[in-house]
């Protein structure tokens, strides 16, 4: 007599024996290897785009500042209390960069290697965590495959600063896994719950998005206990001392989420300082425009997940025009998306809570028994509920991690950013994979003759394999583009020719090569965005270097008329005045820049130089001394130019012995040079 087939309960992992462990190990090894093959080329790449600011010029990374300063500064190395701070607080990611720097300096290969390794681990975790969460083994396998090859991840993996997304996702899934273990084991649940909350905090310190794992845990908990909670609230279910067991996780995670959000707000010390070009929609006073445009941006994000053919490193500065009216054709995409989401949510919620069609033998459950949850689930929801369960879980993983980037509660500093879709893409991949699996099941049941046990029917398998191959090819191409700033800029011009920042980036590439055609791209950037200050300052620099000082000065004046305290514009204007020996004007502009960056050794050096030229030697010596000290403090060693200029000022003093005594502690080479200056001045 054949053994009875039991329906697997909702929210429970498949039974794992030794054979299944071997299968899990084989699948995990395949995912890990596939990820390495697709992304290993990035190890040969350099620092591109935001890498230079977040790593190369970040004093927190160069490991000479104090350890605690990492926790006092934002992701870019500026004090988070600074009104101009971006307020992105990711100290653990910065510490990982600092560890890279300690091991191999600024060699980019090691930084990229860590990114590839972390991403590969996340790919394996996606498969295992979904299995533990109760998703069918085949569905979780297809989900992990699709996640591994998806091109939307290339920005997070190939761009070193994308490590914030990778580390956040790693601890996100470790936190979720700890929570799942806490509800599926008979003992040690308290320890696992605390571990889940702690790992959620770690995820948040890698990137703010990571804290949403607690909301996912709350949703999962409600999904498992919702029917019992509903019966309890209606008075149809009496609990004998088990009310804490029914609500404990919900209370714990809700309080933890609230405290984490409060702590994050306190750390920020104010709202971030964004400019109009970062997120034009947030500057609109019209609720209608904000609602329509943010809805359109959400539909574009989903489209990038569905069809990642047109990817770009930047989507700001006019790339996406505001949706201002209801009759804008772009609203069709927004309405279609939200209508589909509403329909699929209602359908799966109704199906999930629909009573079983056939009577089943129920079992009395003691609320004191730790294993009662498993029995309760198998009693209330039979295996047929797995379809709606997988859909609801996929929707939660798609929607909840996306909320911080949605502008729903607060404006963000970007229009579209592919990297922020790293976590939400797990939910998307789960929904797509479950759809393939569900269609296959219907085809198998409808067949007149029994079909072999297979993951998918041949047509669907062919389609899915084609998707995997196309995504893999796109990932390889996109990783190659991210390996070099010039290739990245060229690809951006093809996809997003209306973006001024893309033209500016291309101009920078050519300028670094000494190619004068960079002027054309700076001018094109200004045609698209006439008030683009950085384009004005860089164009001015090109004009100055090609003997057109008057035109350069006009560019700088135009930039300063837009923002009088702009650092780069003031520095460049100061340089121009210095070259023309207009010492007073140069000092004025250097001082303006110094006010914005008081901890910059370069600003103090230039101020000291100009003070020395205007005869204010005592003030000049103070500025130069400050420059030398600040240079050491950020780990840049001795400031040779500042030492030499200070030595010249010391040599001009009336007493040689007094001046020589002040040289104590200076590097020997610099002391020799300054002694030479004394010999020239005094003939000694």
Quick one: three-class SS letters along 560-582? HHHCCCCHHHHHHHHHHHHHCCC
Average pLDDT of span 522-545:
91
* Burial of 245: CB neighbours in 10 Å, binned 0-12, 13-18, 19+: middle
Structural domains of the chain, with CATH: 18-358+374-473 (no CATH), 485-639 (1.25.40.10)
pLDDT 10s digits, 236-283: 455 544 555 566 777 788 888 888 878 777 777 667 666 777 777 777
What's the pLDDT band for 229 if we cut at 50, 70, 90?
low
Report the percentage of the chain scoring pLDDT > 70: 79
Q: Which one has a higher pLDDT value, 350 or 501?
A: 501
**Least reliable range by pLDDT among 22-36, 96-110, 348-362, 513-527:** 348-362
**73, β-bridge pairs:** 79
The answer, yes or no, to whether residue 376 has pLDDT greater than 50, is no
CA–CA distance, 419 with 364 (Å, rounded to integer): 48
Tokens 């960056």 map to which residue? 597
Please tell me the predicted confidence (pLDDT) of residue 585: 86
The answer, yes or no, to whether residue 90 has pLDDT greater than 50, is yes
Token pair belonging to 602? 């370069």
Please tell me the predicted confidence (pLDDT) of residue 451: 47
Average pLDDT of span 536-549:
90
Phi-psi region of 235 (alpha: psi -120 to 50; beta: other; left: phi over 0): left
What's the pLDDT band for 399 if we cut at 50, 70, 90?
very high
Please tell me the predicted confidence (pLDDT) of residue 450: 46
Please tell me the predicted confidence (pLDDT) of residue 118: 97
What's the pLDDT band for 212 if we cut at 50, 70, 90?
very high
* Burial of 518: CB neighbours in 10 Å, binned 0-12, 13-18, 19+: buried
* Best mean pLDDT range from 383-392, 548-557, 624-633, 660-669: 548-557
Average pLDDT of span 330-359:
83
Please tell me the predicted confidence (pLDDT) of residue 362: 40
What's the pLDDT band for 79 if we cut at 50, 70, 90?
confident
Token pair belonging to 522? 């700076």
CA–CA distance, 506 with 515 (Å, rounded to integer): 11
pLDDT 10s digits, 342-351: 999 998 888 8
Token pair belonging to 11? 């929210």
Computed over its alpha carbons, how large is the radius of gyration of the chain? 30
* Whether 620 contacts 589, CB under 8 Å: no
What's the pLDDT band for 124 if we cut at 50, 70, 90?
very high
CA–CA distance, 607 with 613 (Å, rounded to integer): 10
Q: What is the pTM for the complete model shown?
A: 0.83
Token pair belonging to 120? 């590969």
pLDDT 10s digits, 599-640: 777 888 888 888 887 778 778 888 778 777 777 665 555 666
* Whether 131 contacts 144, CB under 8 Å: no
Nearest partner of 511 among 478, 482, 534, 481, judged by Cα: 534
Please report which residue ranges of 597-635 form alpha helices under DSSP H. 601-613, 617-633
What's the pLDDT band for 332 if we cut at 50, 70, 90?
very high
CA–CA distance, 168 with 35 (Å, rounded to integer): 18
Nearest partner of 417 among 589, 298, 548, judged by Cα: 298
Please tell me the predicted confidence (pLDDT) of residue 245: 59
Please tell me the predicted confidence (pLDDT) of residue 222: 85
Average pLDDT of span 377-389:
52
Please tell me the predicted confidence (pLDDT) of residue 141: 94
* Best mean pLDDT range from 121-125, 361-365, 510-514: 121-125
Q: Which one has a higher pLDDT value, 151 or 515?
A: 151
Other CB atoms within 10 A of residue 49 CB: 21
Q: Which one has a higher pLDDT value, 117 or 576?
A: 117
CA–CA distance, 152 with 419 (Å, rounded to integer): 7
Q: Which one has a higher pLDDT value, 469 or 383?
A: 469
Please tell me the predicted confidence (pLDDT) of residue 370: 38
CA–CA distance, 242 with 368 (Å, rounded to integer): 6
pLDDT 10s digits, 662-682: 444 555 445 444 444 444 444
**Least reliable range by pLDDT among 130-139, 184-193, 646-655:** 646-655
**Least reliable range by pLDDT among 74-78, 275-279, 499-503, 535-539:** 275-279
Q: Which one has a higher pLDDT value, 142 or 9?
A: 142
Please tell me the predicted confidence (pLDDT) of residue 292: 92
Helix axes 287-306, 424-446, angle to 10 degrees: 60
What's the pLDDT band for 143 if we cut at 50, 70, 90?
very high
pLDDT 10s digits, 418-429: 999 999 999 999
How confident is the prediction for the chain on average, in pLDDT?
80
Token pair belonging to 73? 């500064």
Measured CA to CA in angstroms, residue 287 lies from 282, 290, 293, 653 at distances of 10, 5, 10, 66
CA–CA distance, 267 with 365 (Å, rounded to integer): 46
The answer, yes or no, to whether residue 392 has pLDDT greater than 80, is yes
* Whether 312 contacts 491, CB under 8 Å: yes
pLDDT 10s digits, 405-455: 888 777 777 788 899 999 999 999 999 999 888 887 777 665 545 444 444
């Amino acid at each position: 007599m054949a053994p009875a087939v039991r329906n697997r309960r909702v929210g429970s992992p498949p039974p794992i024996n030794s054979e299944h462990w071997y299968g899990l190990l084989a699948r995990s090894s395949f995912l890990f290897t596939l990820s390495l093959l697709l992304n290993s080329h990035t190890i040969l790449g350099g620092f591109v785009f935001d890498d230079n600011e977040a790593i190369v010029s970040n004093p927190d990374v160069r490991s000479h500042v104090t350890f605690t300063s990492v926790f006092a500064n934002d992701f870019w190395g500026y004090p988070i209390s600074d009104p101009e701070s971006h307020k992105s607080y990711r100290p653990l990611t910065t510490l990982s960069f600092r560890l890279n720097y300690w091991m191999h300096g600024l060699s980019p290969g090691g930084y990229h290697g860590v990114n590839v390794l972390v991403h590969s681990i996340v790919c394996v975790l996606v498969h295992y965590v979904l299995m533990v969460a109760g998703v069918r083994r085949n569905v979780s396998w297809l989900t992990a495959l699709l996640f591994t090859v998806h091109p939307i991840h290339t920005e997070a993996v190939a761009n070193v600063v994308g490590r914030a997304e990778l580390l956040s996702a790693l601890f996100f899934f470790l936190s979720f896994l700890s929570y799942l273990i806490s509800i599926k084991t008979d003992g040690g649940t308290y320890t696992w719950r605390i571990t889940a909350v702690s790992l959620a905090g770690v995820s948040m310190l890698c990137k703010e998005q990571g804290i949403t794992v607690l909301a996912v845990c709350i949703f999962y908990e409600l999904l498992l206990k919702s029917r019992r909670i509903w019966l309890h609230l209606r008075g149809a279910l009496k609990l004998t001392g088990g009310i804490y067991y029914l609500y404990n996780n919900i209370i714990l995670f809700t309080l933890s989420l609230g405290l984490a959000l409060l702590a994050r707000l306190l750390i920020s010390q104010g709202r971030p300082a964004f400019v109009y070009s970062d997120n034009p929609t947030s500057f609109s006073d019209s609720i209608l425009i904000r609602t329509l445009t943010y809805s359109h941006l959400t539909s574009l994000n989903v489209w990038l997940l569905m069809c990642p053919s047109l990817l770009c490193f930047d989507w700001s500065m006019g790339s996406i025009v505001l949706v201002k009216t209801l009759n804008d054709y772009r609203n069709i995409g927004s309405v279609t998306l939200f209508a589909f989401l509403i329909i699929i949510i209602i359908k799966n919620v109704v199906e999930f809570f629909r009573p079983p069609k056939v009577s089943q033998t129920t079992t009395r459950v003691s609320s004191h028994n730790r294993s009662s949850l498993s029995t309760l689930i198998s009693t209330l929801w039979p295996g047929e509920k797995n379809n709606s369960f997988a859909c609801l879980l996929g929707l939660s993983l798609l929607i909840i991690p996306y909320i911080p980037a949605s502008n729903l509660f607060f404006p963000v500093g970007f229009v579209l950013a592919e990297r922020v879709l790293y976590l939400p893409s797990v939910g998307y991949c789960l929904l797509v994979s479950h759809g393939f699996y569900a269609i296959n099941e219907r085809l198998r049941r409808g067949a007149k003759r029994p079909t072999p046990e297979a993951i998918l029917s041949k047509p669907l398998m062919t389609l899915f394999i084609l998707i995997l191959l196309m995504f893999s090819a796109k990932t390889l191409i996109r990783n190659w583009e991210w390996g070099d700033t010039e290739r990245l800029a060229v690809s951006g011009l093809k996809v997003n020719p209306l973006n001024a920042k893309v033209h500016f980036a291309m101009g920078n590439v050519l300028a670094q090569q000494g190619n004068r055609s960079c002027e054309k791209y700076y001018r094109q950037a200004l045609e698209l965005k006439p008030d683009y200050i950085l384009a004005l300052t860089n164009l001015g620099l090109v004009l100055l270097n090609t003997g057109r000082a008057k035109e350069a000065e006009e560019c700088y004046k135009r930039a300063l008329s837009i923002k009088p305290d702009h650092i780069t514009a003031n520095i460049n204007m100061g340089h121009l005045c210095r070259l023309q020996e207009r010492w007073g004007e140069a000092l004025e502009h250097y001082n303006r820049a110094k006010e914005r960056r008081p901890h910059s050794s370069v600003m103090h050096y230039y101020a000291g130089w100009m003070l020395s030229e205007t005869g204010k030697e005592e003030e000049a010596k103070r500025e130069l001394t400050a420059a030398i000290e600040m240079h050491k403090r950020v780990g840049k060693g001795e400031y040779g130019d500042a030492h030499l200029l200070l030595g010249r000022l010391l040599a001009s003093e009336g007493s040689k012995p007094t001046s020589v005594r002040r040289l104590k502690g200076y590097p020997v080479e610099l002391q020799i040079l300054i002694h030479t200056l004394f010999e020239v001045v005094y003939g000694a």
